[in-house]
Each structure stands twice: as structure tokens, then as C-alpha cells.
Chains A and B, each alone.
Chain A
Amino acid sequence: MDAREKEIEKLKDYKYGFSTDIENTRAPKGLNEEVIKFISNIKKEPKWMLDWRLKAFERLKQLKEPNWQKPKYPKIDYQDLYYYSAPKSMDDKPKSLDELDPKLLETYKKLGIPLQEQARLNGIAVDAVFDSVSVATTFKGELNKKGIIFCSMSEAIQEHPELVKKYLGSVIPLSDHYFATLNSAVFTDGSFVYIPEGVRCPMELSTYFRINATETGQFERTLIIANKGSYVSYLEGCTAPMRDENQLHAANVELIALDDAEIKYSTVQNWYPGDKDGKGGIYNFVTKRGLCKGKNSKISWTQVETGSAITWKYPSCILKGDNSVGEFYSIAITNNHQKADTGTKMIHLGKNTKSKIISKGISAGFADNTYRGLVDIARNADNARNFTQCDSLLMGNKCGAHTVPYIKNKNSSSNIEHEATTSKISDEQLFYCNQRGLNQEEAVSLIVNGFCKEVLQQLPMEFAVEAQKLVGISLEGSVG
């Protein structure tokens, strides 16, 4: 095989694994005040933002990297990373898609997100984030007519400082934990969404995160605010090139739902998982937290986690408003040497708050998959309810599945249910499917999709089909 053939063979396994050859503007390597000032400066941020970042950096110096998680990883040298990398063509901000570097347009087209057509077709508004910068946001004009703000975080800091100041860090405080605080110091771009009172967002909003540059960490920051009585459904997708090195992705996502508002947040995470021997892949260390601030508000997380070498995240809900509802629907698939430690935290503070957790973990090859979750009922949370269901599916006999549920209950009127199952795909089931004409991979895909059905049903229709395919692809070669 020559080099090109090898490349093609590799790409067959992970079709998003190509990289874009593009000239970058980078911050100097390393983590220090100068780099933070560089980031803030290149984004032309106001002083309050820089001060906020520096405060986070001061706090970071006192924090230690956590070490309680199941998947261990080699020590990360934070001084050996780039914290900002963006295509040079973005230095002078292109005003429209027509001015955007054709290489970037081509990249998104290859990823299945044709930005130009997207802008013409009806349907989904996209914010495209490439390494450290948002390169384009579609449908902005139309959304603006309804008073909806959908833009990059950098733009929001410039254009809507009052909202950013009020809500940034209000759910994930500056000094929350090591990775969240690191993000607060060096975050680069991400999406900002504001839905005004009483408005139902007429289309799906989505962000597509792409890591391209080498030796670079991606520190996205997303903030979604749903004002009283509003509704929004938001989806993020993620991919990265195949590289032998591990790359860090440490994002912070904050959601705020006021009275009677609902936020539905879906993730299809397909970062490069590393090769069959566990070399390379993304460290996906993400902090996602939603605050049901108002009464009758609702936040629903749906995640399909198929990529990354290590996935470590707990999209959580703080149910502060009375009668508020938190939901967490998760599929975590680990194959080969992938590892996942994921779940949720449901913090019940208000009265009559309800939470529901449905977690489906699938483990194949040498992979290790942990569900870790907390249900916390505070003293004043009268009549709180939680239902948790954790199902694990094992394929082969070299992988692992673990369930670590924590329950803290300080109110005797609460009602907490926990169900858990562990199962294997049986040879008999496979034989049955094969006998009906399905090959091994089709059979596995069908059975696993059945196993994940309750979660897949939660995804917006446009993405459910993609996610179903992804579930099948992620497990290719896992039985045989």
C-alpha cells in the first residue's frame, strides 16, 4: 500500500478524519497571562472580559486536576499546547459567506454541512466553529426578526455585553473545577443563543465544532438563555482529523431557562476516537450544566457519544424553579480502546421538581464504559421525583461496563426510582438476524439501535437518521 492508499484505508474507518491545509494565526505556545491577553486582544474584547479571564486564571493556579474518574490518561503538559488557533483568513472578519475562505466552505461541505446551500435551504441554522473561531452563522437575519439572537460567543461579547455579563458563569462559576476554570480563562469561541420572552424558536439551532489544527486544545464556550415562556431546540455535532497525538477539548456549556421556558439540547459527539490500538483521539472533558431558574421550566439533555478516546462529562440540571423538569437521555458507545465516564447530576432544589435519566452504555472491544450519576434532593424540595434507568450492553468479553449511581436525599416526601440492567447481544439473536438475510454488521446495528431506541427518539428527526447510522458505524468490526 502506498501512502495515499493507506490514508484511504484509514479514512474508511472514520470518514471525518481528513485535515484541512490552511494557514493559521496562533497564540504562542503555553498557558500564561500573555497568552490570555493575546486571546482577549485578538477578539477585541472589552476590559471586563479580560479581567474575568485573568481572575479565572488566578483561580486555576490554586486548583488541581481531578483524578477520581475511572479512565486514566497520561499527564497533560498544559505548557505544550496552543490555546488559540484560527484560519488566517478570519483575521479580517469576512462579512458574508461569499467572503469566506473557499477552503473552509469546502471543509464543511466534506463534513456534510454545506454552509452555502444551508443558507438557502429551509431548516436548520448553523454556527460553524473551526478550531478557536466561529467562521459562519447561517439564518441570523431571519432569526433576528423574531428577536432571537444566534451568534458566536465572540460576537455576543461585543454586541450583547449586558446579557453575557449577566449570565456567563452564572451556572458554571469561575472556580467550579479545574477544566471548567481552565475554559473560563482561555475559552475561544462557541455559540450564544438568546430566545426572548414568549418566542418559540422556529427552527433547530445547531453548532458544528471542528478541530483541525495540531497540538491545539479547543475550548468552546456556549451560553443559551431561554426567557420566560420560550422554547428552543439546539444541537451540536463534533468531528476532528485523525492524529496520533491526543487532543484536548474542554468545553463549558451553560443553559438558563426562566419561568415556563424549555431548552432541548442534543449532542452528537463523533470526535476522532483514536485508532484500533488506542493511539490518538480526543480527550473530551466537558462541563455542561443547565439551570432551571424559573418555575415550570424544563431542560432536556440528549447525547449520543460515539467518538473521543476519553469522554468525561456529566450534563446536569439544577432544578431551582418549582415544578421544573430535568431530563437526561444518553447513549455512550465505546469500541476498541475508547473509554467513557459519563452521566448526569440532577440537583432538586425547588418543590415538585422532576427528573428523568435514561442511560444506554454500549461497550465493545477493549473499551470501558462507566455511568456515573448523582440525584440530589435538597431539604426544601418537597415532592421531588426521579426516575433513573441505566442499561449496559456488552459485546465480547474484553470490555467493561460500570454503573455508579449516587443518591442524596434530604427530604422524605421524595420518590426516587433506579433501574439498571446489563445484557449481551446473544449469538442466538445474531443467528436469527443473519437467517433473515442481515450480515453481521447490519445485525449488530439493528440490535443496538433497538437497545438505544428510547434515546434516539429524543433527537430531532433530521439528526435521528444520522445518529442511527453512526451507532452502527461505531461498532463495525466489534463482532466476528
Chain B
Amino acid sequence: MLQIKNLKAKIDNKEILKGLNLDIKPGEVHAIMGPNGSGKSTLSNVLSGKKGYSVSGEVKYLNENLLDLEIEERAHKGIFLAFQYPLEIPGVNTNIFLKTSLNAIKKAKGEKELDAIEFLKLVKQKAAELKFDEKILSRQLNVGFSGGEKKKNEILQMSILNPKLSILDETDSGLDIDALKTVSEGVNALRSKDSSFLIITHYQRLLDYIEPDFVHVLINGQIVKSGGSELALELESKGYESLS
């Protein structure tokens, strides 16, 4: 699904990613852990196409050169980024935003767009599955949402857009244990043989709920160690110091 070779990224002439390699196959869940400033968020930004970075190396996504695609084209082709800090858009109803987004992606794929009634049916079903309070959907997008509501909203969007590669950027930060469970259940429900996940996190606790196939340790812009889910436990007890 995703092959990253020797990925380097600079911002304001400062090199953040320094030759990163990663291979994600369909159906796999990869976790990336690392200390502050190791380049975790930069990786998610670069993969989703955020402007402002000068990027080199090779990233193949579904056999296409990912770095050549615009942000929205990547979204159309199934890349979804759950934001660490979801943005507020005043005046825009959450439902409308979701419908606009879903239909933009459907249109790009040449699929039939959903009308309001079909959409509401879908959103109701998904919200129920995620135990997500529907009332939130008629509020302005992320405006006045609590931290937990914002993150849940990201997961709801993910489940509606049904992406192929989901990147979760520190989705667990700022969540209480109940919200963490809800979010994890949402992710687990979406796991399938065709969809892959890249989960970026500081802490091991999210991985208690979402069991990864692989864990990678990102330090100073490079992956220094990879392993199975046991690696996360090891990090939790020994810290990153032991690896740097």
C-alpha cells in the first residue's frame, strides 16, 4: 500500500526527517512512537501533502508517486489524516462539512454523490456504531467542542469517508480513558484486510486498545528500531533514552 524510501523533509531549512524508510501492506496497523520533536507530526503532514516542506525521497502509494499529488487528490485516493488539533470552522455545520467532504471524494472517484437523506441515514448509522452523540453533528464544525468531542469527530469522519490509509496523529493526546476507548473501538471497527493504519503516538496506552502489527521508534527523523507490539511495552518501561 505505502512504500517510503529515504524520505527527507525540511522546513525553514531545518531538516526534520532524515532518510525514513517504511513499508505498509494492506490490512496492517503500524504504530510510530517517538519523543517530542522526533518528526512524528512532520511525517503525517508530509504524507498528507501539507505545504511548506521541501521534501525528497520516494513515496509510493498504491503504485503512484504520492509526492506528485495535491492534498485533495491524496484524500480522493483514500488517505485520511486524523488531526492532532482539528480545526474550527465557524458557521459551517458539521453535517454539511461531512457531506461536502464525502461527496467531493465520491465525485472524484466517479461515484454517485449522496443526497441529503441518504447522507443523514449513513451518518446516523455510523454515529450509532461509534456511540457518538448525534446532536454534535448539527453544531458548527469543532466550534466549542471539547478535546474528546473533536477527536471522536475525527474518527466519525474517518468511518464515513472509509479511507484506505488512515493516519492518526496523536489522536490519543488529551483523551480521558472513556474517550480513548471509544476512539479505539472506532478504529478497530474499521480494521479490514484492505485498510491500513499509521498510528502516531507518544504513549503506549493507546496500543493497549488498538493492537498494532508493527511498532517503529522514530528518533531524530529516522526509524531506529522496529518490532512487534511488544516493543511498545519495552519502550514504556525503558523510555526512549535506551535507544538513542
Which residues of A are in contact with B by a Cβ distance under 8 Å? 426-429, 431-439, 442, 446-447, 449-454
Contact = CB atoms under 8 A, between A and B. Distances in A.
Contacts of A442: 100, 104
A450 B92 CA distance: 5
A438 B161 CA distance: 13
A449 B92 contact: yes
B90 interface: yes
Contacts of A453: 91-92
B71 A446 contact: no
Contacts of B70: 434, 439
A317 to B, nearest CB: 25
Nearest to B140: A450
Interface of B: 48-51, 70-72, 74-76, 80-81, 83, 86-87, 89-92, 97, 100-102, 104-105, 108, 140-141, 157, 161
A446 B87 CA distance: 14
B61 to A, nearest CB: 15
A447 B105 CA distance: 18
Contact of B89 (A427, A439, A450, A454): A450
Contacts, number: 73
Nearest to B101: A436
Contact of A449 (B51, B91, B157): B91
B158 to A, nearest CB: 10
Given A435-B71, A437-B108, A447 B76 contact: no
Greatest chain A CB density within 10 A among B76, B92, B102 is at B92
A436 B96 CA distance: 12
A435 B81 contact: yes
A438 B87 CA distance: 15
Contacts of A454: 91
Contacts of A426: 87
Given A436-B161, A437-B105, A450-B140, A429 B87 contact: yes
A69 to B, nearest CB: 29
Nearest to B87: A432
Contacts of A433: 89, 101
Contact of B72 (A438, A449, A452): A438
Contact of B100 (A432, A446, A451): A446
B72 A427 contact: no
Contacts of B141: 450
Given A428-B87, A432-B87, A437 B104 contact: yes
A434 B100 contact: no
Contacts of A437: 72, 75-76, 101-102, 104-105, 108, 161
A436 B166 CA distance: 12
Contacts of B50: 431
Chain A residues touching B, majority SS: helix
A391 to B, nearest CB: 10
A450 B90 contact: yes
Contact of B86 (A432, A434, A438, A452): A432
A291 to B, nearest CB: 33
B90 A431 contact: no
18 contacts: A427-B51, A429-B87, A432-B89, A433-B101, A434-B49, A435-B49, A435-B72, A436-B101, A438-B100, A439-B104, A442-B100, A442-B104, A446-B100, A447-B92, A450-B91, A451-B90, A452-B91, A453-B92
A436 B76 CA distance: 8
Contacts of A436: 75, 97, 100-101, 104, 157, 161
Given A435-B75, A454-B91, 7 more contacts: A431-B51, A435-B49, A436-B104, A436-B157, A436-B161, A450-B141, A451-B90
Nearest to B86: A432
A474 to B, nearest CB: 17
Contacts of B51: 427, 431
A452 B48 CA distance: 29
B75 A434 contact: yes
Nearest to B142: A432
Nearest to A428: B87
A438 B83 contact: no
A418 B141 CA distance: 26
Contacts of A431: 50-51, 71
B91 to A, nearest CB: 3
Greatest chain B CB density within 10 A among A431, A433, A435, A453 is at A435
A158 B108 CA distance: 58
Contacts of B74: 435
Contacts of B157: 436
Contacts of A432: 83, 86-87, 89
Contacts of B91: 449-454
Contacts of B75: 434-437
A434 B71 CA distance: 6
A360 B166 CA distance: 37
Greatest chain B CB density within 10 A among A434, A447, A449, A453 is at A434
Nearest to B45: A431
A439 B72 contact: yes
Contacts of B104: 436-439, 442
Contacts of A439: 70, 72, 104
A471 B83 CA distance: 28
A80 B44 CA distance: 63
A36 to B, nearest CB: 48
Nearest to A423: B90
B98 to A, nearest CB: 8
A427 B50 CA distance: 10
Nearest to B109: A437
Nearest to A438: B104
Nearest to A454: B91
B176 to A, nearest CB: 24
Contacts of A451: 90-91
Greatest chain B CB density within 10 A among A435, A437, A438, A451 is at A437
Nearest to B105: A437
A431 B97 CA distance: 14
A174 to B, nearest CB: 43
A434 B100 CA distance: 11
A304 to B, nearest CB: 15
A447 B76 CA distance: 20
A446 B92 CA distance: 7
A434 B101 CA distance: 9
B149 to A, nearest CB: 16
A435 B89 CA distance: 14
B97 A446 contact: yes
Contacts of A429: 87, 89
A333 to B, nearest CB: 15
Greatest chain B CB density within 10 A among A446, A447, A452 is at A446
